Amino acid sequence: MDSKNQLLYDYIQENSINITDMWLSLRDKQKGSIYSADADPAYEKLLREQNTFTNRTVSAALLDEDTFNENMEEWAITVAESRVDSNTPIFQVLEALSNVRETYWHFVEKFIKSNQSEVTADDVLKWSTIINKAFDKLINKFSEKYYELTTNRLVAQQSLINELGTPVIPIKDHTAVLPLIGNIDTERAQILLEEIPKKCAKENIEHLFIDLSGVAIIDTMVAHQIFSLTKALKLLGVKSTISGISPEVAQTSIQLGLDFRGIETYGKLKHALKRQGENLL
């Protein structure tokens, strides 16, 4: 291990609080940002802890690459999770890391000036390579973790949206209602076609009431998908009853040549339930 590297490492650790203080002093007011100068004191405490971790991680590259890599992995996960949880845009994080680098180098320069008789040009070039490479690796690893976390969150949210968008609600043994609300585009119609038969099979549904009264617009493709859904349910032994069909949807179905003659249709869900059995109400 290079003794000068150790001296620089020790100097950075000894000035850790000063480095963080200087970094925090560079903040300005950014509405709603964790990095804002007037952010909640809890955020400042968090930033202090994480900046100390950042400086320690970068400094580890001066001593041992394996230790740096281990710290970098932990650092990236910690900071990425924190920024995703606080809904901090990645550009704000990268800007903050740029300020961290600038502050870190300010203290490296102070160390060099205070040890001019011992530090050579080769030492400076070596430290420049090590430190800048360490910061670049941190940024890349953070971006990777941030992307993974945000992607996983989006997938989870989309899964929840799909679940809420295909609600099969049991109302009696083997009988359920599928109330559809909002716009149904081709993508949502495809999800209905894929998910509803699975749910009906899982819940042992024998009769499904599909209510379209909350759907304002259904295009030709969606009308065809709903027709396909009733055919798929029929193959599973599930009877379909449709309510809330608007005149526009009825006209679209006729134009498409969709044969709904084998499916009972009603203007309103309550009429469908009453006609199918008084005990359903």
What pLDDT is recorded for position 260? 66
Give the tens place of pLDDT for each residue, 7-51. 999 999 999 999 999 999 999 988 889 999 988 889 999 999 999
Beta bridge partners, 210, equal 178, 242
Tell whether the model's pLDDT for residue 76 goes beyond 50: yes
Q: What are phi and psi of 273, to 5 degrees?
A: -65, -40
Q: Per mean pLDDT, which range of 102-111, 126-135, 156-165 is the poorest?
A: 156-165
Q: 3-class SS at 218?
A: coil
Average pLDDT of the residues in 39-68 = 93
- DSSP letters, 141-189, are HHHHHHHHHHHHHHHHHHHHHHHHHS--EEEETTEEEEEEES---HHHH
State the virtual CA torsion across 142, 144, 148, 150 in degrees, nearest 10.
60
Average pLDDT of the residues in 128-142 = 96
Tell whether the model's pLDDT for residue 191 goes beyond 80: yes
- DSSP letters, 39-84, are S-HHHHHHHHHHHHHHHHHHHHTTT-HHHHHHHHHHHHHHHHHHHH
Give the tens place of pLDDT for each residue, 234-269. 999 999 998 887 777 677 677 777 666 677 888 888
Residue 242 near residue 210, CB atoms below 8 Å: yes
Percent of the chain beyond pLDDT 70? Answer: 93
Average pLDDT of the residues in 175-203 = 87
